[in-house]
Structure 1
Amino acid sequence: MKPIRRSRLRLFAGKRYFTWKRYYQWYTHRSKLAISHTANNLPYEVMKHATPLLRSLRNVDMELQYNKITNLRLAIGRLEGLLIRPGETFSYWRSIGKPTRRKGYVDGMVLYYGGFHSGVGGGLCQLSNLIYWMTLHTPLTVTERHRHSYDVFPDEQRTQPFGSGATCSYNYLDLQLQNNTENKYQLKLWLDDTHLHGAWRCDAQQLYEYEIYESEHMISLEPWGGYVRSNRIQRKVFTRTGELAGVEDVTDNHALMMYSPLLHGTS
């Protein structure tokens, strides 16, 4: 995983290629998209989670994090109450649309090749991370998810396993879910003064519960002089009576570390 240095022209051309490739896929590969919303809560809460809106990050202007809240509020307005019926597919970017200044999006923090910069709509990865984490606790099928290629910040205040998020970039890095069950699912999202909140609800009680954990976590010093962090995300499936029904592999993660693994507070 030695870092690859690419020219600005290569990066520009690559982004345009993958962006238009995604547009082509959208208009040629028709799927049954989840587009219906309802303000009425489905009766059963399947999974609920919350993440803090503000973190003290080294060399990151706090204004970018405050702007992120504006961006999250706009995106939530497109996703709140979304229903995913049996056979339907959820696409993060097709539901939200392109974040632009005309729509009210502002500059937030965008992770970029091991660092960060400001960009319109920055911070929406927090929302895709939340949705992905909650989805791992449901029988919904993740059909597209992209991991972070760089581990940019130490594990301060981390409450989830490393690599349990889903990065996003309009429109070619998407998060997509498919409902292969016989039940309807509903996505609930909201903000308070300190946290981003989310929940999956369903029209039927769940048969199984899930425990997400990491295994085979390691940090390796590579021959080229940098560190790579790796792990495997798995989940245990339990029946409603608490019996272990199985163990499933979720994903493998490998990321270039952009800080010293010997820093205090890292794992």
Structure 2
Amino acid sequence: MNLVDFRPKKRSKFRIQLGKVFYRSKRFLKWYFDGEKYVKKKSVEKLPFQVFSHQTPLLRQLKNVDMWYQHNKVINLKIAVQKLNCLTIEPGETFSYWRCIGKPTKRKGYVEGMVLHYGEFKAGIGGGLCQLSNLIYWMTIHTPLTVTERYRHSFDVFPDSNRTQPFGSGATCSYNYLDLQVKNNTNDTYQLFLTVTDTHLVGEWRCSQRPLNNYEVYEATHKIEMAYWGNYIRYNTIHRRVYNAQSIEIDDEFLTENYAIMMYEPMLESKS
């Protein structure tokens, strides 16, 4: 990997705000003129077959981060989940995370939560919704649905803590230009169910037909290199094994690669 490409770029507040206006406007134009058929319908009646389910804990103690960020995140998640729960994706339709949720605002009940910004965290309205986009992305790559747009985190802010999924297996989000989009290129209808319990964010994909294949997502490569400007760069690739109904592996697919600037010192093994 070319470490020069990942050196952090310093931009003024004016430049950042101007960029937001430009890319948000570009996104609105794309939504309305790109010819995609976007998801609109909901159905409370569950489709008969579960394809994949997953849950993630709501509260997680992070180093040097006050817990009020976490509690406010739960408020934001509950509001966003109401927008996405029970959505159905017909063949040929596209799910857009931000098109379905809309802009998080105080008027809608969103509160300040933790927002990652250029390798640091700060308070922002609607903060914490990345947990929801992470969950949806992780579930989707265990289905035949196609992820057509996803953004990786540019900074690795917190050390791994009880990690159960590979590094880089989530999807960052920022209204509305960092979107998560999923297209149904199959002949079957899919349905997204989400709920916030007392302890977890829970989700599942369901389908109108019994799935033909199962998927195992794994980290194929992983390395850490020190860049010349002093930061460490973390890199990996994510693959998935495809198994048929008889649990026989029939394919091994490349999904994505991830680069992130580490904002903490990695634990390096001492050379013998």
What TM-score do the two structures reach when normalised by structure 2? 0.95
- The alpha carbon displacement at 1:48 in A equals 0.5
Counterpart of 1:66 in structure 2 is 71
Counterpart of 2:157 in structure 1 is 152
Counterpart of 1:243 in structure 2 is 248
Q: In structure 2, what is the Cα distance between the partners aligned to 1:243 and 1:171? A: 40
The amino acid that maps onto 1:187 is L
- The alpha carbon displacement at 1:6 in A equals 1.1
Structure 2 gap ranges (5+): 1-5
Counterpart of 2:3 in structure 1 is none
Quick one: which of 19, 27, 33 aligns to 2:32?
A: 27
Structure 1 runs of 4+ off > 2 angstroms?
none
The amino acid that maps onto 1:185 is Y
Report whether the alignment pairs 1:201 with 2:199: no
Gap change, CA 1:263 and 1:196, over 3 Å in 2: farther
Q: In structure 2, what is the Cα distance between the partners aligned to 1:34 and 1:7? A: 37
Q: In structure 2, what is the Cα distance between the partners aligned to 1:227 and 1:133? A: 26
Counterpart of 1:231 in structure 2 is 236
The amino acid that maps onto 2:47 is L
Count of matched residue positions in the alignment of Structure 1 and Structure 2? 264
Report whether the alignment pairs 1:77 with 2:77: no
Quick one: which of 172, 178, 182 aligns to 1:173?
A: 178
Aligned pairs for 1:87-106 within 5 A: 87-106=92-111
- The alpha carbon displacement at 1:27 in A equals 2.1
For residues 62-116 of structure 1, what are the alpha-carbon distances to aligned partners after superposition, in whole Å with 9 as ceiling and x for unaligned? 1111011010000010011100010100000011111110000000100110011
- The alpha carbon displacement at 1:30 in A equals 3.0
SS where residue 60 of structure 2 aligns? coil
Quick one: which of 124, 128, 139 aligns to 2:129?
A: 124
For residues 157-203 of structure 1, what are the alpha-carbon distances to aligned partners after superposition, in whole Å with 9 as ceiling and x for unaligned? 21100000000000000000000001000000011111100000001
The amino acid that maps onto 2:9 is I
Identical-residue share of aligned pairs (%): 57
SS where residue 72 of structure 2 aligns? helix
SS where residue 129 of structure 1 aligns? helix
- The alpha carbon displacement at 1:263 in A equals 8.2
Q: In structure 2, what is the Cα distance between the partners aligned to 1:44 and 1:196? A: 21
Q: Structure 1 stretch 22-31 or stretch 46-55: which is displaced more?
A: 22-31
Report whether the alignment pairs 1:3 with 2:8: yes
For residues 116-143 of structure 1, what are the alpha-carbon distances to aligned partners after superposition, in whole Å with 9 as ceiling and x for unaligned? 1010000000000000000000000000
Counterpart of 2:118 in structure 1 is 113
The amino acid that maps onto 1:207 is L
The amino acid that maps onto 2:120 is G
Counterpart of 2:23 in structure 1 is 18
Q: In structure 1, what is the Cα distance between the partners aligned to 2:90 and 2:97? A: 16
Q: In structure 1, what is the Cα distance between the partners aligned to 2:35 and 2:110? A: 29
Q: In structure 2, what is the Cα distance between the partners aligned to 1:150 and 1:135? A: 23
State the superposition RMSD in angstroms.
Answer: 1.1
Report whether the alignment pairs 1:256 with 2:229: no
